[in-house]
A and B are shown apart, each in its own frame.
Chain A
Amino acid sequence: MFSNLLRDCQLALPELILSGAIILFLLARLFSTVRRLQIVVPAVIGVAIALGISIDSWSEIASRSQLAFGGLLRFDGFGLFTRIFLLLATMVTLLTGLMTGIPDREDSADYVTLLLGSTVGLMFLASSHHLLMLFLSAEMASLPAYALTGFFKGKRKGSEAALKYVVYGSAASGVMLYGISLVCAVTASASFSELQRVIYIDRDNLNLNGLIGAVLIFVGLGFKLAIVPFHFWGPDAFEGAPAEVAGFLSVASKGAALAITARFLLALVGPYSFENAYINMIVTGIVLGFTGTLTATFGNLMALKQTNLKRLLAYSTIAHAGIMLLAMIPLQNRAMAPILYYLIGYLPANLGIFAAIALIRNHMNSEAISTLAGLGTRSPAIAAALTFFLLSLLGLPPLVGFITKFQIFVSIYEMGALTGGLDLLKIISISVLVIAGLNTAIGAGYYLKLIKYMYLHESPPEAPKIPLHLGYQIFFAILVGTVVGLGIMIDPVTKLTRLAANSLEVIWK
């Protein structure tokens, strides 16, 4: 028993390291000498150690998935990949904070503990194999996020955003918990494996309660993903939150939520080979296709008319979540590979944009789109980096956004191609494909609008230049390099993502 616990702890070592770091940073406030230290740097080191351990354990975990802590968590390639993704996102967020001076020395400990706490929650969320763990880690990730949204206590907008986020967020998690309780009443267990067993073997026990429960859980997850119609908190929270936090929310929390949605849906639908899995797959596929296209189209259309940068990006995030939802349509392990690629490509682009917004806000005290006017001449380095990020989000080759978009489109069409003779599904998949494609063109409307502001508009007379010292030039250069590099070195990344996705194989055992 004890040796088991030791082994499990070893598997969860990165999470434990971060938790230890949180405790350390909280205790550090007790001592007056270290109270005024900038805590961000040690936090970056902590994250880096966790990241190193995660990468180190790749070959071991990716080849052999295992359940830990009595089946609460499942450590597999998929979870590990998401975990590395989350740690990278946290790292970039912390570095952005260091660059923009949010937080200052006074409150850096608060900021860092909240951020790391949220990260730990997200990491557990991505590896959950049990409904209790799902709920617990979702809450653990959300509670610090509520606080981070309202991190500037004196700001009216910030407090309003935090209020909306916490009210809707806790309502959504309540709904999700109620759904879990209904599902448990049917399956008499909350483990994903049990869930699948009941759905496919003990079918007699199934009843309407279970379905309602599953739908309510999906509503809760949809809220985390900001899927239409549960998206309304997103833009408000993003606009009110500091840009650094908004970036974290849009990348890390979306990524973990997608990962757990993939796990949950795969558990519900099960491997393709099962009897009846076929029907479930089609129904879920149609639902996903519908919500996905709706979300993507709505997000893109709303983004067109925004004037606040963060709000615009919030809608863009919603649109991207819709596209990633579409990628799940085939509902098979290997369909998750493009999602992982999408996430890893989305990370540098989106966090880079939020970092640039934070920098601009520091110097111009505004986050309106008009602050970008003439940035191309004022701060050519930032403007060039932003252009790369935006074009990658738009999905133009040879940037990473294109290859990820391409893989997802292929994956969408695969649904139609797999399902043999059903013409209806083929028509649906092609129309989903066309709508998703046209969404790219709508997206061009606002991504290019930002580029247009940077290069084609005159800069306002009093607009300051934004200095960028060497360290941060390197920071942006690395992000841009990732955006370009991942778009060209397609084979190695695809190999990794496929390996990770394949580890989702049989959830059941």
Chain B
Amino acid sequence: MYEHDLILMSALIFAPAAFGLGCLLLPKSWLEFTRWFALTGSVVTLILSLILLVDYYNRLDFHRGPKTLNDHSSLLEARVDEAARRASLELPGSREGYDCYASVPWVEKFNINYEIGVDGLSLPLIVLTTIIFVVSVLASWSIQENIRVYFAFLLILETGVLGVFHALDLFLFYVFYEVMLIPMYFLIGLWGGARRKYAAMKFVIYTLVGSVLLLVAIILLSFVEVRDYFDKSMVDTTAAIRKRESPNLVESDARSMRTFSIPVLQRVGQVAMLELTGQAHRIAAKPKSEGARTPRWDPKPRPDGQIELLGREVSTGEAKSRRADDPIYKSSYQYLIFILLFVGFAIKVPLIPLHSWLPDAHVEAPTPISMILAGVLLKLGGYGIFRIAYPICPYAAHELSGWIAGLGAFAIIYGALVCLGQTDFKRLLAYSSISHMGYVILGLGAWTGGGAWQYWAWAMNGAVYQMIAHGITSAAMFFIVGVVYERAHHRDLNGLGGLWASMPFFGGVALLLFFASMGLPGLCGFVGELLVVLGAWKFSPLLTILAILSTVLTAGYLLWAWQRVFLGTNPNTAHYPDLSLREAIILLTLLLLAIALGVFPQTLVLNWSEGSITGLAESLSLLTR
């Protein structure tokens, strides 16, 4: 059912863009219709993502106890290998379910593939994206100017985001990563506030610098010789084809392989880590075929501690001698690539010294775009570190984990402290985003390694959960600002007040959402922070205590902000109407999600996402001594 996966995922990626371009074709005067059309587009995308979720859910065999490397269905690498194995069989075997993985050649000269797939790491973010986009399309009803172009950009942006979450090929990843840039530039620049030109430009320049660093890292990675990571039979076939095309090719050139595929490069990084930590004897090849039967690959280490990272029937000795020349297995290269990737993504997260574009972009962007920016785009940075930076350069990541966790903890505290001094509502929320995303980085950095890998798995799960929770609460918070702004036409916290009296319903919903953002138990913010803190304790009690203490600050600035907006008396705000139906739907949806995710974290998310994330943490941790 390879085609099924390919078609479903491609439809999910490109449906929004198709609807977006459709928006441009509508007559100018059909204002209301354009809005409904865009809403249809985003809802269709949401439904497609839910279908994908069900497919993935069906794949999983989640009554088998704790999810670890044993679980083939949730580990992306194992599924990729499985797909390749099955493709090489003459008669495809029977299928238990869908792979949620597909690969089609795109640029053969560079071995670039249209390789897409999802696992428990990307799927929650994909569903989050589609939900946030539906909500923000609803929130865009108040946009009046040029709405055809507005919705076109919005939906093309969604295609870019979904493409990034699906891409398993670095080149494809980069293409989608850049596709987001221009729609975002226009969305801030055309429909933004007073200093929108400045903010849009700043956003683009920062993002572009980040993505250029990524590009450099991608090019460095594309020169890695990876023939030892593919099955020998596949390399043989490729070499035979190449020799037929140009007969005087040298044998070693014909067999040379380059790739942009993330799952393959991950194994390169893991081999490099074993090599650099003096554990080269643990590197082994995947199991050999016995006759016509090619056995499945088991990512779990063998009883003697060997890990099967090389392709089938690859000679470990030859692979070792080839590694001697390749610079990628040197620690300097591992550090270089990791830093390029990490800085590139950290700009997007944003991590503290690289964060200054975010407050400006948030303040100037229109409400729905702020919701998307905080709810979805910031997660791309975190996702990139999870999916690319850590697995591809585990050695450098492990060596630098103290610094990374420190940066995360620092971001939490710094963001919270800056929040206390803000009077602009949106700017406050922007810094609170920085503070909340710090938990993601802290969770990632808390690499305990060795036998204590469960703690890191907790922290990693917490980090992903934190991304989802923050996606929902921050979108809700920015919408709250939007509601206030639409009535008051300013965002100065000192000039507001007394909204509780005129808008009691709004005040109540807002209070609950503020609680969710604060991380009160029973609401979504709590789960992620708790898991991160639990996991990080083993790594560094000091950083963890700092992170816990800063929740007090978080509660402080959020409650203080709520108090300044809603309590007190203010004659200017007395006549404000309470929420309209549309606004209420948006806020209640988000509130419902916040409560549901807080009460049923296991049922709703962790059941199907945990396997992949824990598997990632385990496979990386087993590399350490």
Cβ contact within 8 Å between A455 and B189: yes
Q: Establish whether residues A434 and B216, one from each chain, have CB atoms under 8 Å apart when the complex forms.
A: yes
What residues on B are CB-neighbors of A437 within 8 Å? 212-213, 215-216
Bitwise interface map of A from 405 to 438 toward B, beta carbon under 8 Å scored 1, else 0? 0100110011001001000001000100110011
| B325 interface residue (CB < 8 Å to A) | yes
* A402 interface residue per 8 A CB criterion: yes
Expressed in whole angstroms, the Cα–Cα distance for A391 and B183 within the complex equals: 12
How big is chain A's contact interface, by range? 20 to 34
B-contact 0/1 string along A388-404, CB 8 Å cutoff: 00010000111000100
CB of B520 within 8 Å of the partner chain: no
Which of B172-180, B526-534, B549-557 contacts its partner?
Answer: B172-180
B219 touches A396 (CB 8 A): no
Q: Which residues of chain A come closer than 8 Å to B208, judged between CB atoms?
A: 440-441, 444
A417 to B174: give the CA distance in the assembly, Å: 22
Cβ B220 vs Cβ A440 within 8 A? no
Known: A396-B178, A398-B179. A430 touches B336 (CB 8 A): yes
A491, CB-defined interface residue at 8 Å:
yes
- In the bound complex, CA of A456 to CA of B182 (Å): 14
Q: Which residue of A lies closest to B196 (CB)?
A: A456
- B223 CB-CB contact with A under 8 Å: yes
- Segment touching A, from B197-205, B386-394, B399-407, B500-508: B197-205
Contact of A402 among B107, B178, B185, B327 (CB under 8 A): B178
Report if A498-B109 is in contact (Cβ < 8 Å); known contacts: A396-B182, A398-B179, A444-B205: yes
B178 engages A410 (CB within 8 Å): no
Q: When A402-B178, A444-B205 are in contact, do A456 and B219 touch as well, CB less than 8 Å?
A: no
Asked if B209 and A441 sit within 8 Å, CB to CB, the answer is yes
Contact of A448 among B185, B196, B219, B325 (CB under 8 A): B185
Do residues A440 and B212 form an inter-chain contact, with CB atoms below 8 A? yes
Inter-chain contact A433/B175, CB cutoff 8 Å: no
Contacts of B205 in A (CB 8 A): 441, 444-445
Q: B181 an interface residue at 8 Å Cβ cutoff?
A: yes
Q: Which residues from 435 to 455 on chain A have a C-beta closer than 8 Å to any C-beta of chain B? A: 437-438, 440-441, 444-445, 448-449, 451-452, 455
Contacts of B47 in A (CB 8 A): none
Q: Is A490 an interface residue (CB 8 A)?
A: yes
Residues of B close to A370: CB separation below 8 A: none
Q: Are A410 and B201 in contact, with the CB atoms below 8 A? A: no
A:479-504 near B, CB below 8 Å: 490-491, 494-495, 498
Q: Choose among A420, A438, A490 the residue that contacts B212 (Cβ–Cβ < 8 A).
A: A438
Task: Kindly state the separation between the CA atoms of A455 and B150 in the bound complex, as whole angstroms.
Answer: 13
Shortest distance between the CB of A398 and any CB in chain B (Å): 6
**Smallest CB separation, B193 vs chain A (Å):** 12
A189 to B212 Cα, complex, angstroms: 46
Is B261 positioned at the interface, with any CB of A under 8 Å from its CB? no
B222 adjacent to chain A (CB < 8 Å): yes
| B190 in contact (CB, < 8 A) | yes
Q: Smallest distance from the beta carbon of A334 to chain B beta carbons, Å?
A: 11
Are A490 and B175 in contact, with the CB atoms below 8 A?
no
- How far is A449 from B208 in the complex, measured between Cα atoms in Å? 15
In the complex, what distance in Å separates the CA atom of A410 from the CA atom of B178?
A: 18
Least Cβ–Cβ distance between A474 and chain B, in angstroms? 19
Nearest first, the 10 A-B pairs at minimum CB distance are: A437-B212, A397-B175, A490-B107, A441-B208, A441-B209, A494-B109, A417-B223, A397-B178, A444-B208, A456-B189
List 27 interface pairs A-B (beta carbons < 8 Å), by A numbering: A397-B174, A398-B179, A406-B171, A406-B215, A406-B219, A410-B222, A413-B219, A417-B223, A426-B327, A433-B216, A433-B219, A437-B213, A438-B209, A441-B205, A441-B212, A444-B204, A444-B205, A445-B201, A451-B185, A452-B200, A455-B190, A456-B189, A456-B196, A490-B107, A491-B108, A495-B109, A498-B109
B interface residues, Cβ below 8 angstroms from A: 106-110, 171, 174-175, 178-179, 181-182, 185-186, 189-190, 196-197, 200-201, 204-205, 208-209, 212-213, 215-216, 219-220, 222-223, 325, 327, 336
